[in-house]
């Protein structure tokens, strides 16, 4: 069995994506702090998150076709360079004074490139490792991402506290540039993507048809659509809770979000074992049910260490479910269709994300975090349990649908 750590191309890919993840980790804390410091309004923060969700949905319409049609490594580099330029413009303009309009312009554009990047990234993994190592590779990728997310929020909080959120976003921009440079050392196996992609057809409809015919991917997509409605703005609400209700500093908020990432690290370490022993369905259902309980508990937590532990539990559970879900999709989808199927999968489940982000942040600002997260957590747990009524309850997934 090949040792993935000895595969130079996989290690180069993993290193580059870790840098890109570090940028995302900075954004996780720096962007909300920038908006809250400028406006003091969680509703404004929710509006930006909702706008990002709309941009992601729009990108999902074409991201899969782009990933299946063009050179995937080049696409990843283009997306990283674009995000470097977009995020880099914020600290440059902010040096002359806050300009909130720029945030409303830059972040949705960055979300478009992020969607294309994420779709393309999923298609690259099966071209780097053998089919029987996909879950392991995804676990290792998530594990190294966890290191980035362990350091990123804490560093973003410290830099924000010392020099302001715009300085943290400047560091965020640099990480994307370094990621683009690292991708130059990745070698992806060649395939007949272009000819096969054209034979299947173009656009999102190809991926939607594949998902609709699959007995597991379809209910999974429907359930995730509901789950994401209740979790799209969870980070925003937690940060608002820490800053507004618990009166914590930017540095402390960064440390809490960093502590939460320990959950993601644990998820990457155990997901392959959990999936082998329990099967995809039980692992996914159990993980999201526990996540719902933890989300509700965050609404009741009045101590910073308790919030940190609960956030770690949420990330542990969603990490196990997310890695297992992505691995299943990579295993059952033909390689030449993986971009369009991934794009359709994410686009469909994100349809309610903008509304969810606006609803949760507005509710948190008007009714309080407790009144928002208690019903949200209950809804997450009940939605996960609803999977017991679908083919997802099976230990092993059924075979993929026959091509038409």
pLDDT in tens, 274-327: 888 888 889 999 999 999 999 999 988 888 899 999 999 998 999 899 888 888
* Model pLDDT, residue 193: 45
Domain total of the chain = 1
* Domain-embedded: residue 3: no
* Domain-embedded: residue 193: no
* Model pLDDT, residue 395: 57
The pTM assigned to this predicted structure is 0.69
**Burial group, residue 296, by CB count within 10 angstroms (0-12, 13-18, 19+):** buried
* Model pLDDT, residue 57: 80
Q: Helix, strand or coil for residue 302?
A: coil
Q: What is the mean pLDDT of the chain?
A: 82
* Domain-embedded: residue 1: no
* Domain-embedded: residue 400: no
Which residues span the domain enclosing 358? 8-185+201-393
* Domain-embedded: residue 196: no
* Model pLDDT, residue 81: 94
Whether 304 and 249 have beta carbons less than 8 Å apart is answered as no
Nearest Cα neighbor of 72 from 211, 173, 191 is: 191
* Domain-embedded: residue 190: no
* Domain-embedded: residue 192: no
CATH number at residue 253: 1.20.1250.20
* Domain-embedded: residue 46: yes
* Model pLDDT, residue 397: 52
- Give CA–CA dist 12/311, Å, rounded: 30
* Greatest mean pLDDT range, 14-23, 49-58, 252-261, 300-309: 300-309
């Amino acid at each position: 069995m090949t040792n993935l750590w000895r595969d130079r191309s996989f290690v180069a890919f993993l290193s580059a994506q870790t840098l890109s993840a570090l940028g995302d980790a900075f954004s996780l804390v720096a962007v909300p702090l920038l908006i809250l410091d400028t406006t003091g309004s969680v509703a404004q923060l929710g509006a930006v998150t909702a706008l990002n969700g709309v941009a992601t949905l729009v990108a999902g319409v074409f991201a899969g076709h782009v990933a299946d049609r063009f050179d995937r490594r080049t696409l990843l580099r283009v997306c990283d360079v674009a995000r470097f330029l977009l995020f880099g413009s914020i600290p440059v303009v902010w040096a002359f004074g806050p300009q909130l309009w720029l945030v409303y312009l830059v972040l949705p554009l960055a979300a478009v490139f992020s969607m294309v990047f994420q779709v393309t990234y999923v298609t690259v993994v099966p071209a780097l490792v053998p089919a029987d190592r996909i879950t392991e590779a995804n676990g290792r990728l998530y594990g190294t991402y966890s290191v980035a997310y362990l350091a990123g929020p804490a560093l973003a909080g410290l830099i924000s506290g010392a020099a302001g959120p715009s300085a943290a976003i400047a560091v965020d921009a640099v990480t994307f540039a370094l990621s683009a440079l690292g991708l130059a050392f990745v070698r992806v196996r060649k395939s007949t993507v272009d000819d096969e992609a054209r034979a299947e057809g173009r656009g999102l409809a190809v991926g939607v048809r594949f998902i609709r015919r699959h007995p597991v991917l379809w209910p999974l997509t429907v359930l995730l659509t509901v789950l994401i409605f209740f979790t799209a703005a969870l980070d925003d609400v937690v940060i608002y809770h820490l800053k507004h209700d618990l009166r914590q500093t930017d540095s402390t908020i960064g440390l809490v979000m960093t502590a939460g990432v320990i959950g993601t690290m644990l998820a990457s370490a155990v997901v392959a074992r959990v999936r082998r022993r329990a099967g995809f369905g039980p692992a996914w259902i159990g993980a999201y049910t526990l996540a719902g309980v933890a989300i509700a508990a965050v609404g009741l937590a009045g101590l910073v260490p308790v919030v940190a532990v609960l956030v770690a539990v949420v990330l542990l559970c969603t990490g196990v479910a997310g890695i297992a879900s992505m691995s299943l999709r990579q295993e059952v989808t033909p390689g030449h269709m993986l971009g369009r199927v991934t794009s359709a999968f994410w686009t469909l489940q994100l349809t309610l994300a903008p509304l969810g982000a606006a609803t949760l942040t507005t509710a948190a600002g008007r009714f309080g975090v407790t009144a928002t997260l208690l019903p949200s957590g209950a809804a997450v747990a009940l939605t996960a349990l609803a999977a017991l009524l679908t083919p997802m309850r099976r230990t092993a997934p059924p075979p993929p649908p026959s091509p038409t």
